[in-house]
Structure 1
Amino acid sequence: MRVALVSMYTTHHEETGATRRLRRTAELLAERDHEVTVLCAKWWDGEVVEFKQDGVTYHRVTDAPAVGGFASRVPFALREVSPDVIQVASYPPWHVTAVRTAARFLRTPVVADWWTRDDRGGSRAYRRAAKSPNAVLVPSEMVRTQVRELGAAVDSTHLVPEPINMDLVRSADADERADVVYARDLDEHANVESFLLALAELRDKDWSAVVIGDGPERSTAEQTARDLRIDDRVEFLGELSANEAVPIMKGAHVFAQTATVEPFATNLLWALACGCVSIVEYQARSSAHELVEGRERGSLVTSPQELADEIVAARRYDHETVDDDFARYDFRRVIEQYESVYETERDDYGFF
């Protein structure tokens, strides 16, 4: 199948949840022998129109990110690629409507991949973007609700979560350096202080913890650990690959999730698959609770004190290193969900 993924931004322009999801989807589709082209602003050197990396062809629409220029030129790029199905990122929202207009002439279905509502997009543009595609893919029920509130039809939204590699989870050795783990980009939504405050409540207990992740709030978090006098028991490891993080999660007993914004809690999913007892601090703009609700080895809290209490209570569970209940999130199964939506939309579009 020829698949065009339309996104002005890629991970080469900015590292966000949306651009990382785009890259993973493109590379997984390419591994399944689909012909994958990402239509984007140019990020490579030289004058070539296309650049291939990891089996994915990146096709220049504009020389640099420019919302108006990209929207006006993407129809011509789509005509060159001539895809069987088009997937477009939800930001900038104006591009969704531009792609949909072009797709009518190409007689090609459009699927929008909706990570979250970016504050840089306008409300009216997002409402139009939610209504215009043939289908909308969302990573969580929380995001599905948001898209439906913007006007997307109930039967046009499809839940497609973020994937993990269960082969890695099963094969990795356990690194027992820490009892408790926190893992996330350390940005303004990380809320690491709740995690550290909970640990400070347990000074009289025997524990060690690690924080995996990097970002603009890392120095503030490290200072908070010093102020709470727990810096000798909390190790900040910086950004780690999955190959590096999974052994630490398998060796730990508890994973704590406290971020205030999370369209899909990918690191929490990895930890659950690694057998961690996972504790989620409920946040109105986070979908993390969806992964632990109803699970024996998971719980919801609303404060650092409750988080501390649940860390202690986690001792009642045996240590585990693999939970096969989460095999349904393996990348092979998730990419099949993308393929299923593409095939359904293509068949339905061809019928009409």
Structure 2
Amino acid sequence: MHVAFVSFETVHHRDTETNRRFQTVMDLLADRGHDVHCYCAGFWAGEESTFERGNVTYHAVSTGLEAGASFHLRLPFVLAAAGPDAIHAGARPASQVLAARSGAALARAPLIVEWYGDGGVADTRWTGLATGRPDRIVAPSELVGTWVRERGADGNIVTTVPNPVDCERIREGETGEEVDVIYARRLDEGANLESLLLALAELRDRDWSAKVVGDGPERDDYEQLASDLRIDDRVTFTGELSLDERIAAYRGAHVFAQTAEHCVFPTEMLRALSAGCVGIVEYHANSSAHELVEGWDRGFRTTSEVELAEAILDGGNLEHREYDDRFADYDRSAVADRYLTLYRTLRDEHGVL
């Protein structure tokens, strides 16, 4: 299948959650042998109009990020000339969705918009216009789907597709040291690690160990808090770890705690749950993490440090596992199939052979 991806800015311009998600979708399809092209602002040296990396062909619709007007003007005609089976555009900036819609009409191809929602969904005129243009809008979670519908999208065209994980890599990974509780995230202002540390302090008369994976500007403050709470001898701050090191840590851990206030999709938590961890989520209005544990007998949803402490005790009584096949539907191959099914369904609806 020939799929044209549209993203003025890519992960090669700037490393953001939104750009990483878009790159992941392209890689999923390219790895399956599909013909994947990305129409973007140029990011490579030299005067060539195309650039190949990782089985994806990048096309410079404009010479750089400073040429946004040129990108939007040229995009419809570039897409029409390409003649793709489907057009898959990022939602940011919203103006590129309108240009992609024109290109889809000229190419007689369906338009799918990837609305990841990192940083929220802006309440602007451009956003309102963009929500009415696609044939489908893909969100990573019900939370983001709700945000998009609140900005005017027809609920019938909004579907959720999660971030994928590599289940085989997790199943075959090494197992790290045993630890009772693990937390993993960038330690910034949204990490809310203090909730977990306070809950653990409630259990200081119990025998437990905890590990915090990740680094960031708030790390020193969190380490100081652990010291102030007199639990620093049982909480290990590892800093950043490679993916395989994180998987090993999750396979060795019993409980994964998610307390971040903002999260459009908890990818690290998903890896940990796939690696057998019991899942504990502190509920926050702007986090979708609770969606992973709803209706699951190894998942807990809490709203306070006291409930979090109780859930850690209850979770500790459950069987320790190093892999959980319940999350096989989140595997890279399964998520790729969901996108391919979506493209083919829309092609059939368009009546394009």
TM over 0.5: yes
Deviation at 1:334, TM superposition (A): 0.6
Contact 2:180–2:208 at 8 Å: present in 1 too? yes
1:122 deviation in Å?
A: 4.8
Structure 1 contact 91–118 (Cα < 8 Å) conserved: no
Q: Residues of 2 paired with 1:118 and 1:255: CA distance?
A: 24
**After alignment, is 118-127 or 29-38 more displaced?**
118-127
The amino acid across from 1:3 in the alignment is V
Q: How does 1:318-333 map to 2 (within 5 A)?
A: 318-333=319-334
Higher alpha-carbon deviation: 219-228 or 284-293: 219-228
1:7 aligns to what? 7
Match of 1:237 in 2: 238
The structure-2 alpha-carbon separation of the partners of 1:171 and 1:14, relative to structure 1 and needing over 3 Å to count, comes to same
Moved more, 176-185 or 330-339: 176-185
Distance 1:351 1:194 in 2: 53
Tell me if the contact between 1:135 and 1:156 (Cα under 8 Å) persists in the aligned partners. Answer: yes
Aligned to 2:87: 86
> Aligned letter for 2:12?
H
The alpha-carbon distance between structure 1 residues 224 and 9, as it changes in their structure 2 partners (threshold 3 A), is: farther
5 Å-filtered alignment, 1:206-217, equals 206-217=207-218
Equivalent in the alignment of 1:42: 42
User: C-alpha distance in 2, partners of 1:286/1:245?
Assistant: 22
List aligned pairs for 1:26-105, cutoff 5 A.
Answer: 26-66=26-66, 67-105=68-106
State the Cα deviation string for residues 228-275 of structure 1 (Å, max 9, x = none): 333332222233333221111011001000111111111111111111
The one-character-per-residue Cα deviations of 1:262-294 (angstroms, maximum 9, x if unpaired) are 111111111111111111000001111111011
1:253 alignment partner, SS class: strand
Find the counterpart in structure 2 of residue 189 from structure 1. Answer: 190
Q: Which residue of 2 aligns with 1:156?
A: 157
SS in 2 for 1:197: helix
Asked if structure 2 preserves the Cα contact closer than 8 Å seen for 1:277 and 1:297, the reply is yes
Q: Which moved more, 1:24-33 or 1:152-161?
A: 152-161
Supply the distance in 1 between the matched residues of 2:161 and 2:266 (Cα, whole angstroms). Answer: 13
Residues 151-300 of structure 1 mapped to structure 2, 5 A cutoff = 151-300=152-301
Q: Between the two proteins, what is the percent identity of the paired residues?
A: 47
Q: Confirm or deny: 8 A CA contact 2:180 2:316 kept in the other structure.
A: no
Opposite residue 14 of structure 1, the aligned amino acid is R
The Cα offsets for residues 40-71 of structure 1, whole Å up to 9 and x where unpaired, read as: 22222222222211111122223332444432
Q: Distance in 2 between matches of 1:344 and 1:100?
A: 18
Give the unaligned 5+ runs of structure 1: none
Distance 1:190 1:10 in 2: 25
Compared CA separation, residues 153 and 232, structure 1 to 2 (3 A)? same
Deviation string 1:84-127 (CA, Å, 9 cap, x unpaired) is 21111111111111211222122121100111164695522112
Q: Per the alignment, do residues 246 and 333 of structure 1 end up closer, same or farther by CA in structure 2, a change over 3 Å counting?
A: same
Matched AA of 2:18: A
Structure 2: tracts of 5 or more residues without a match: none
Distance 1:63 1:213, change over 3 A: farther
CA distance in 1, matches of 2:121, 2:159: 24
Report which stretch shifted further, 34-43 or 220-229: 220-229
Change (3 A) 1:77 1:231: farther
What residue in structure 1 maps to residue 116 of structure 2? 115
**Contact 2:95/2:126 (CA < 8 Å) preserved in 1?**
yes
Q: Aligned pair count? A: 352
CA separation of 1:72 and 1:180: change in aligned 2, threshold 3 A: same
Q: Tell me the secondary structure at the aligned position of residue 230 of structure 1.
A: coil
